[in-house]
Amino acid sequence: MTPARILLALVPAALLAALVMLALAALHSPALIRYYPVLLALNIAGIALLSGVMVYGAWRLALHLRARRPGARLTLRMLAAFGALALAPLVVVYFFSVQFVNRGIDSWFDVRIEEALNKASLLRRNTLEALRRDLVEQAAADAAALAQTPLSPDAATVRLLDDLRRAGDYEELAVFTPGGDVVAASGARGGALIPLAPASAVLATLGGGGRGHAELEPGDAGGLQWRVAVTVNQALDASPAAALYVLQAVKVLPLRYATLGASIQTALAEYERLVFLRRPLKFSFVVTLTVITLMTVLLAAWLALMFARRLAAPLGQLATGQRAVAKGDYRTRLTVTSGDDLGALVQSFNEMTGQLRQAQNQAEQSRRESEMQRTYLETVMAHLSSAVLVLDRDFNVHTCNKAARAMLPLGPTRQGRALGALVADEPHLAPLAEAITAPGRDAEWQSEVTLAGGGGRRVLICRCTRLPPESGLPGGYVAVLDDVTDLIRSQRDAAWGEVARRLAHEIKNPLTPIRLSAERMRQKFLPQLEEPGRGAMDRATRTIVQQVESMKRMVDAFSGYAQPMRMQTAPVDLNQLIKDVMALHEPPAGKIKTALELDPDLPRPEVDPGRMRQVFNNLMINALDALGGRDRAAVTVRTGVVRRGGAEYVEALVHDNGPGFPAEILDRLFEPYVTTKDKGTGLGLAIVKRIVEEHDGVIAAENPPAGGALIRILLPLR
């Protein structure tokens, strides 16, 4: 137990002890009554101390209320409740106690008792007055007897006094001069003591003409005795002026009168004493009661304040803790100050915050891990060349990666939309939607989808998988799309290359003996033949030679297409190169109009000038062939610089106003043996494409809305 707590326990105990002692002292405890003022002062000091403590406590409570400190309002309520519970009974008890004390003390003083005592006192006084008169008369008679004899301090006078004393049953009989000097005396207890002289006032009264004086005085052994003084006038005329002596008689009041009178007087005195003490007694009780009540009230209020504080402290702590928890701070730990229910509550709160904190940490850990996973997946998906589409069970687009948005194409707003709605906006996606939503699929399925969009014909491999229930999107689907257009095209190119090599190997080799054989036949048998056999031989051998030569050219062309190209690049003025090619293909005047729209500031790309001349030569041949026989035919060649994907390209456009490319071959235009010309080899555009691609360039064919055919070549600027 801390010193503060010990002090806190000792102070109320000491105050209670002082209170009890004051109460006992007020009840006239013999041991404590002498310390009554000290105890009263102690209690008043205690009241002052407690008042100070309460004022301080109220001030602190007011500050806490103003600061809206948690628990302050509860403390105030409990203090008010405890105070009302303690104060109301105390006030009632105090009020009735005070009334009881006042009425109780007043009830001691009965009017009838007082009247009886007064009457008894009056009776006593009357009796004593009668006795006094008789005694004065008797003493006067004795004085008259003495007046007949000359008085002197001699034995005769003493004997006379003795006789009179015995006769009158006096305790003492003495003669004094008017000045108070003893002349002679007679006492029942002998003459050892000098009799006390009458008081000077008595002597003066007698000297002034009074007949006699008698008064009662305390006697020996607590009794009463009469002291009577009368004049002894020895003159014949008995004039007061002739009085020479004073006779003083002391007579003990008879015991029965004394006892009776003493009883009456004692009772009356005690009654009067009590009457006098009534008000101080009331005051004493009321003050004591007030001090005790005040002390009790303040003690109760103090204890109530402490109790309320102790009770509200954990609740205030809890309120603070709850606020912290509401703000997300789970580190709050409350101090358990007691082992009672509130302590258990605080303990539970601590356990709760601990669990919350643990859960928060776990959630935070999970969130971080999830975030990392998500980032990881996003990164992976963003860098995937395959398009990934995640759809829910209703085929609404849930997620799509960057490749999907570029491949299909889908904008950011497509996410969350139904696949059907996407098809409505983008009809070219209908085959894809059909492949994904086709009924009767298993958990995984795969199909090839061909889309013909603005970017050209695209061939996609669509692999769909139904998501498992624990995936977070139960019943959903994930579709992975791989654009295999280029792959197929490459495979096709490779196949054609292989075909070309085989043709070169399998066909070109027999051509030479065929040609040689035909020429030997011509040389050997033509001179020997006669017409018309000679003519037929001539035409046949010539045809064989021509066709063999044609086949050889074709096979050479195939070989050129299939064999790797050896490039000798250098910065080339592409505008000048185009002008040179155009000069070679200058058409007859008025037939076809050619136009050059060349960028004068065109940079020089690193190209093989021979190969590039071959490209433009083939393109011009194709264009002129396509425009043959058309009115107002025109070919336009444009050059310029464009930016694509952060890089600069030299762009060259060859545009004619012919019929355009047939739609059915548009996507296969650059494949070998794809041609619309009767006599074409079908390798012109395939070679053009190969040369451009050998320069890391891009070539595309399209039919622009304005009409005609357009070949677009992009050559990178390094």
Partner 1 sequence: MVTAAVAAGVMPAPAAARDFRIVDVAAAADGAAVDFRAVLELPFSEEAAEAVDKGIAVTLGLNINLLREREWWWDKGLGEWQVRAEVRRHRPSGRYLLRVDGPGGGGSGGLTSGNGGLDSGNGEPAGDGRSFPSLDAALEHLGRGLGARLPLAESLQLRSERYRLKVKAVVLFDMLPAPLRLWAYVAPSWRMASRATSWPLAP
Q: Does 665 bind partner 1 (CB under 8 A)?
A: no
User: Interface with partner 1 includes 91 (CB under 8 A)?
Assistant: yes
The pattern of x and - marking residues 97 through 116 that bind partner 1 according to CB under 8 A reads -x---x--------------
Q: Which stretch binds partner 1 (CB under 8 A): 35-43, 131-139, 463-471, 473-481?
A: 35-43
Residue 186's DSSP bridge partners are 173
The answer to whether the beta carbons of residues 592 and 623 sit under 8 Å apart is no
Which residue among 227, 251, 611, 655 contacts partner 1 (CB under 8 A)?
Answer: 227
From 261, 316, 431, 476, residue interacting with partner 1 (rule: CB under 8 A): 261
Site string for partner 1, 270-309 (x = CB under 8 A): x-xx-xxx-xxxxxx-xx--x--x----------------
Radius of gyration of the CA atoms of the chain, in A:
74
Q: Of 40 and 312, which CB lies nearer to partner 1 in the complex structure?
A: 40
Tell me whether residue 659 is exposed, middle or buried, using C-beta atoms within 10 angstroms of its C-beta: 0 to 12, 13 to 18, 19 or more: middle
What distance in Å separates the CA atoms of residue 489 and residue 459, rounded to the nearest whole number?
10
Instruction: Kindly state whether residue 415 participates in binding partner 1, applying the rule CB under 8 A.
Output: no
Please provide the size of the chain in residues: 718
> Among 94, 302, 330, 477, which residue sits at the site for partner 1 (rule: CB under 8 A)?
94
Binding mask 182-221 for partner 1 (x = CB under 8 A): --------------x--x---------------xxxx---
Encoding tokens for residue 410? 């889908």
∠200-203-207 over CA atoms, to 5°?
A: 135
Would strands 592-597 and 456-466 be described as parallel, antiparallel, or unpaired? unpaired
Residues binding partner 1: what is the number (CB under 8 A)?
A: 42
Query: Which one of the spans 94-102, 206-214, 478-486, 669-677 is the region binding partner 1 (CB under 8 A)?
Result: 94-102
Residue 232 DSSP SS3? strand
Which of 134, 270 has the CB closer to partner 1? 270
Antiparallel, parallel or unpaired: β 224-233 and 212-218? antiparallel
| CB burial string 574-600: b at 16+ within 10 A, e below | bbebbeebbeebebeeeebebeeebee
Among 44, 262, 526, 653, binds partner 1 (CB under 8 A): 262
Record the tokens describing residue 309, joined without a space.
């504080």
Write down the least CB distance from residue 14 to partner 1, Å: 22
Among 58, 86, 268, 315, binds partner 1 (CB under 8 A): 268
Kindly tell me which of 247 and 400 has the beta carbon lying closer to partner 1: 247
Task: Report 36-65 residues binding partner 1 (CB under 8 A).
Answer: 36-37, 40
| 219 CB-side CA count, 13 A | 18
State both tokens at 347: 């303990």
Q: For partner 1, which residue of 8, 28, 179, 610 counts as binding (CB under 8 A)?
A: 28
Task: Please state the closest distance from residue 289 (CB atom) to partner 1, in A.
Answer: 9
Q: If binding is defined by CB under 8 A, does position 129 make contact with partner 1? A: no
Which token pair is 7?
Answer: 């002090």
Q: State whether residue 380 is helix, strand or coil.
A: helix
Shortest distance (Å) from residue 32 CB to partner 1: 10
What angle in degrees, to the nearest 10, is found between the helix axes of 684-694 and 533-562? 30
Please give the Cα distance from 709 to 702 (Å, whole number): 6
Region 528-587 residues binding partner 1, contact defined as CB under 8 A: none
Separation of alpha carbons 359 and 578, rounded Å: 74
- Residue 644 tokens read as 């694509």
* 324 is an interface residue for partner 1 by CB under 8 A: no
Is the peptide bond prior to 532 cis by the omega test (within 30 degrees of 0)? yes
Which residue's CB is nearer to partner 1, number 37 or number 439?
37
Residue 464's SS3 state is strand
Tell me the closest approach of the beta carbon of residue 357 to partner 1, in angstroms: 57
Q: Pick the binder of partner 1 from 17, 34, 63, 337 (CB under 8 A).
A: 34
What are the DSSP calls for 633-693, one per residue?
A: EEEEEEEEEEEETTEEEEEEEEEE-SS---GGGGGGTTSTT--S-SS--S-HHHHHHHHHH
The interface with partner 1 within residues 435-474 (CB under 8 A) comprises: none
Ramachandran area for residue 680 (φ above 0: left; ψ -120 to 50: alpha; else beta) = beta
Sign for the pseudo-dihedral over CA of 107, 109, 114, 116? positive
Q: Which amino acid is at 549?
A: E
**At 362, is the secondary structure helix, strand, or coil?**
helix
Could you tell me the smallest distance in angstroms from the CB atom of residue 36 to partner 1?
Answer: 6
Residue whose entry in the numeric block shows the structure tokens 């000069």: 583
In angstroms, give the least distance from the CB of 184 to partner 1. 20
- Nearest residue (CB) to partner 1, 281 versus 666: 281
Least distance CB 116 / partner 1 (angstroms): 17
Task: Select the span of 8-16, 29-37, 433-441, 470-478 touching partner 1 (CB under 8 A).
Answer: 29-37
Q: Which stretch binds partner 1 (CB under 8 A): 265-273, 466-474, 573-581, 682-690?
A: 265-273
Q: Which is nearer to partner 1, 24 or 621 (CB)?
A: 24
How far apart, in whole angstroms, are the C-alpha atoms of residue 356 and residue 348? 12
Task: Tell me the torsion sign for CA atoms 331, 332, 336, 337.
Answer: positive
- Among 553, 65, 23, smallest CA distance to 293 is for 23
Of the pair 250, 304, the CB lying nearest partner 1 is at 250
Least distance (Å) between residue 193 CB and partner 1: 13
Q: Is 363 in the site for partner 1 (CB under 8 A)?
A: no
Task: For the CB of residue 227, give the shortest distance to partner 1 in the complex, in Å.
Answer: 7
Q: What residue ranges bind partner 1 (CB under 8 A)?
A: 28, 33-34, 36-37, 40, 91, 94-95, 98, 102, 196, 199, 215-218, 224, 227, 258, 261-262, 265-266, 268-270, 272-273, 275-277, 279-284, 286-287, 290, 293
